[in-house]
Every structure is written in C-alpha cells, then in structure tokens.
Structure 1
Amino acid sequence: MSATALSHEAPATALTNLFAHVRRLSLALAEPLSDADATVQSMDDASPAKWHLAHTSWFFETFVLRDHVAGYEAFDPDFHFLFNSYYEAEGARHARNHRGLLTRPSLDHIRAYRAHVDAAMLEAMPTLSNDALALVELGLNHEQQHQELLLTDILHLFAQNPLFPAIWPAAPMPAVEPRPVEWIEGPVGQVEIGHGGDRFAFDCEGPRHAVLLTPYALASRPVTNGEWAAFIADGGYAQSRHWLADGWAWVQANGIDAPLYWRKDEDGHWQQFGLDGLRSVDPSAPVCHISLYEADAYAAWAGARLPTEAEWEAIAASHDPLGGNQLDAAGPVRPRADAADALFGNVWQWTGSAYRPYPGFKPAEGAVGEYNGKFMSGRFVLRGSSCATPRGSVRPSYRNFFYPHQRWQFTGLRLARDL
C-alpha cells in the first residue's frame, strides 16, 4: 500500500464518516459468528475472523495512534505481536499458520479492542495532520480488503463442516437465461493504464504509463456455471491438452475435477456451497472459485484466451466501478445471474498477466511500503471486483493478485480473443 497524498474527496469530516461506516460493517459481517466460528483457521491461506477484526484495529493503533497521537496508550501491549501480519519493520509476530490456535483473546475481547481503538481514532481525527489522515484513508481501504477476506475465509471454514451451515440463509435465486456472449472491442495502439490523479489508490496501481495494444475483444459477460458444466462433461479436467504444465500437475496431484465448493448429490447433480448454504448449482450464474490454471484451461478449451490486465483496464476505464453485484451490507453474498453483464462485481476476473511492478514503481517509505511491492513474484493479476468486495473500494486500475493455484476467493473469468 502507499500512503499517497490525501485525496480531495477525503477531508477529516468525510474520513470520520467513512471510518464509522467501515468499522461498523466489519462488526456486522462477524455478527452471526460464535466465538468458535471466529477462532478456527481452516488452512494456512485463511485467517480466523477475530484475527481480521483485530489486525485491522492493529493497523490504526500502530500507524496512526501510536505514531501521530501524543499520549495514546495501547489497549494491550501483547497485541502488537499477536496481530502484526507481515510487517518486518514492526518486529516479531505470531506465525500466520498458527493464528487458529489463539483461543484467547476471546471474540468479545477483540470487540472491546476495536471499541477502544475506535474511540481514540474518532477523538483524534479532527486534529490529525494531512500525513496522518492519509494513513487513515489507507487503513480504511486496507480494512475493506479484509472484509472480503473475512467472508472468503469463513466460507472456506464452513465448507469443512459436514453440516454445511449457512451464515445468511436465503431463498434460491429465480432462474435467469444468460444473454448470448457478445464481444466488446477495446482501444488499440498506444493506451495509458495505471492510476493517475489525486484520488486514493494503492501504490501497485501506478505509475500511469503507456502500453501498446493490438486488436482484441472481451466477452460481454463472465463464463457461467452452465458453460463450466459443459467443460466438465467434455472431459475438461481429464485432458492434459487444455492445461498449462503446472496446472495439469496441480490437477493430478490434488484430484481436481470441479470448481471449489462443487459436489455431486446422490443423484449425480452438481451442488454448490456458499455463504447461504448448500444448493443446486445455478447454471446461469457466473462460475466462481476457480484457479488461474482452471481459467486458462477453460479458455483454451473454448478457443479463446485470458485477457491481459492492460486490455481489461483499457475497456474498464469507460465503465462504472460502482456498478454490478458488490458488497453493500451484511447479508446474503453470492454471484448473481441478473448482474452478470456488469464489468465490475460478482467475481474477480483472472487475467493472464503476472503481478509485477509497473515501469517506475517505487514502494512507499516505511512499514506501509511492505504491503504490495514485496509480493510481486509468482502471482497473477485479477481485475474487477466480486460480490464480497465492498462497493466503492475499487477502481478500473485496481490490481488484485493471488497465486495461480488459489481459488478460495470469489474468482472467475471473462474470456478474451484476438481480432
């Protein structure tokens, strides 16, 4: 992340209001969870819900209250060690793969920690310098990222429970016939991408720079579950010719034969587990929880390819990042067929672009500079947003990134082709 210059849209009053909104939403997302739900860690890539709630408070306590508010007293000195994520400049920390062993502090104690930090932040906000307010804005965007992670990590945890519990039970969505795929031609020649201007962005989104694009087009909607089921039925997971070598090795080693959270019922019909429980796969909804390897194999099978991130952004520049199916409040969170035509929302879209620095990239000074730059190795970029992404937290230049085998996030794909 980068503590960039304070945006004109985020003076102290506006930030105070946004701070209260973001902090309330985190608590609301965790409200249905028991202390046990919020403590367990289902895999090394995931973190317990109460760790997310605490770490986002640690960020404000460490980088704003400790460094910019005279006389502030930490809620608990041990929390600096427990809830640091990977900031080497902040010293030793509890091992990531052992976060689920923290049966103490309790979820209620974490809520008390949040209340302590919130009270101190709200009192200090009117007096903070512009540099400190820039860190507040950074911290709020950081917490919005963790809100999505909290949801995806809880989904993965609940999927390990043979009872398949729903966090937010919901009625099945009405059947919607997906629109035929049309192809959106993008701008060609020299095109500028990357963040520019004085609004907030993470450091990895810039600098703005020129790229050269040859004629191409993006599909008008993401690939659907029904289309993915056809890929499975045609032996998509059983034919090496569709797969990258690393992807095929991953399929073979892990017995992969469907997207994550898909399973067959006693009659051989596909079901899918989500935050609203176990239900029949909706053939018209966007396919979700797939890896880069799967997305690339499907594209090869379909006679298309994955877009580059530059192609995606060049088209996204004329689309509304506030549109589509994104997170507005605690409640049912799932990809929806009736919102599949929007470029943003529903599912993050894999690109074929490696997550590497743009020309002229420099990480921010200090500990906050560790957030993005040091992860620019071995990962691929996803664009857009998902049904679990807080609305208003992304831009056309936003770069999400994960390893190619990871799929517990709300990840899907939109095809591209050359013209």
Structure 2
Amino acid sequence: MTIELRDTLRLPCGATLPNRLAKAAMSEALGTMDARVTPKLVKVYERWAQGGIGLSITGNVMIDRRALAEPGNVVIEDERDHELLTAWARAGQSGGGQVWVQINHPGKQTPKGLNKETVSPSAVPFRKDLQMMFGTPRELREDEILDIIRRWGEAARICKKAGFNGVQIHGAHGYLVGQFLSPHTNQRTDAWGGSPENRRRFVLAVYDEVRRQVGPDFPVGIKLNSADFQRGGFTEEESLAVIAELSARGVDLIEVSGGTYEAPAMTGATGPKKDSTVAREAYFIDFTEKVRQVCSTPLMLTGGFRTPSGMKAALNSGAVDVVGLARSIAVEPELPKRLIDGKAPLFPIKPLITGIQRIDSSGLLEVQWYTRQIQRMGKGKAPVPNEHPLKALLVYLLASPIQLFRARRVRAS
C-alpha cells in the first residue's frame, strides 16, 4: 500500500500523528531575557498549526537556568510559566496536529559570557578558530550529572502537565547528550566515559528518567546524530548501537541528523553530497536505511527535502516514517497543506550566500536568517522570503552583544 503525506502514524506508546509532516526544531529566540515563555511563541506556533502540520517540535527549550544555549531561550525547570505553557500547547494543537517540546542542555556549546560557566563531560576546548566565541568547559562532577538527568525528567513532567503532546530529547548537534556520546568531548575514565557502553550511559539514563516521570502513554522522542563528522568523534556504528538500545526501551520517534557547531552537517555545510543522496533529496537517508536494519521504531528525517514526490518516495522506501520540515516552513508556514495536496513549495530553499566564504560555510548565517523569519511571525508579521542575507547578518552582529549583556544582567540580578 502506498504511503501518502496525509496518512496517520501510530507511535509505540499508542498516540497517533495526524499526518507524516513534522516541523523540526528551530531556534526561535523568543523567550524573555530571563528565559520565560512569551505570547510571541504562542502566536508563531498557532501560525504553524493552521498551516496543516501534523507535528510541531519546539526549538531548544533548556532544563537549567544556569545553562542557556543562547539569549532568548526558554527554560522549563519549574511551573512558574504554567499558564503560558498551556496557551503555547493549545496554540500548537489548534490545527489538529500535535506539539512536542524539545528539551535540552547545551553543555559547553554556548557563547562566552552568557552563562557564569559552562560544563561538559570533560574539559575539552573548541578548536582554535572558535575559542574566541566558546569557552573551555569545566568537567562535570557525578552529582551534577545525576542532577541534570533529574532535570530532564522534571522538564518533561511539567510539559505534560501543561498539555503538550510529547517531548523530544535533543541528543544531536553537539549539545550535552552529544558531548557524552563523543569520545572527542568525553574523555572521562569513570562509569560515564571511556567505552562506547559507558559513553551512552548518560543518554539512556536521561531517557529512562523522562519515561519514569511521564509514564508509558506519553510520546517521548529523541534527536540523534548519525555521526559528528569530526575526527575522533561519534561514529555511525556507535549511533546505531545507541538507537538499538533506545528502541528496545520503547522510544517513540527517532529523528536523525548530524554534525556539531564545529562541523555543521545539519545545514548541508560539510561539502558535496553523493549523487544518490541528491537524487533522493534527504541529507541522511543513507543512514536511516541502516537504522531500519536494527530497529522498527518510527524514524523522522529532516534536511534536504524539496518536493512532494521526494518526500513520498522516502516514506515508501521504508527508510523514513515522518518527513521533517525546517527552513522551508520558516518562510512558508502554510507549506504542509500545499505538500499534502501534491503542490511544490512557493519558495524553494536555496543556499544563503554573502560572498564571505568563512561565513557562508559556518552555518551561522543560515540559523540567524531563518530565526529572523520566525521572529517576524511571532510579531504577527509574514516572513520575507527574499530578505538579503547580509541584512540578517548585520542585525545579528549588532544585536548579539546587546542581547548577551542584557541576558547576563537580568540573570545576575
């Protein structure tokens, strides 16, 4: 039987997604400077919900106020924002789809000066050309590791109470879960490091704690790297082993991605793709085919999809169960309805080029340009698909130091 984009998908926990299209997590940076929820988040998720998306995954919600990834992050560590969280959940469900909260801890991957300190499994600095932006972290103590695991579960419980349909553990793109998984950033010699089995102990403990606090019937997904694309980093073989363990524990949806801030494969910035990958559109579909050999857990794939036919081909290949949309839905929030009707995007995604090679290859411009479009929707405005990339870069360069200063001052008071 042919799978269509409009078809439902039943998850292992028993919940059902209304179609096969998901909004992947993207940074909104719409929280307050003291990391609270705002009405702008309610507004933008209502806009996406009305566009027909089956599942919206929020961007990068943190579990500890001492550990932000960027100014404008929301933190969920208590119930002080319960009313606005409930409004956010209802807005995300207003079109008939589900909305999940992506919960995360950045570890060392946070700009210098934003937090009082950064922590990681080991005190491994960034590569030299990024050390002006990112500081060397302090190695976590075991009691701190256990506290962070508890916080992940507590954040998930609060999200469930507020009415969200599920949560996604962020284990990709070089954040704390990824730092534990990678032998490059995890050089510990205790039970949390060393062998692949020890390095994956953290992510398994996080999943177990989240599941303990939300129960068996609440969707829990995870976003994982296929690999870090760094020498001495997390490999495909290790990723497959982690996925097999999580699948055996009952995880509901695995989203496949790849890369870190030091090697941003998730933006398509790591070099040319194989002809077979280009033809099939998705960046990491070769890896999901390998995943399918080790588990039957539903798989979500984000990155590279361009056409309804390419998306349907991926679904019917058996390698993908959910198609993730990110940049395309930031400029065209009604895109899911078009795709379900078999229509192509009105604004095909193209690389953002400034002519400055270091910027164009870093992935930074991509993040900031699309974040600006999301922030426009949060203000009730329409995205601007033809906005010049240099404008977004200039605004970011001017605003970033001010935001860092304001965030530090507010959090220090």
TM range (shorter): under 0.3
Larger of the two Rg values belongs to structure: 1
Q: TM-score, normalised on structure 2?
A: 0.28
| TM-score, normalising length: structure 1 | 0.28
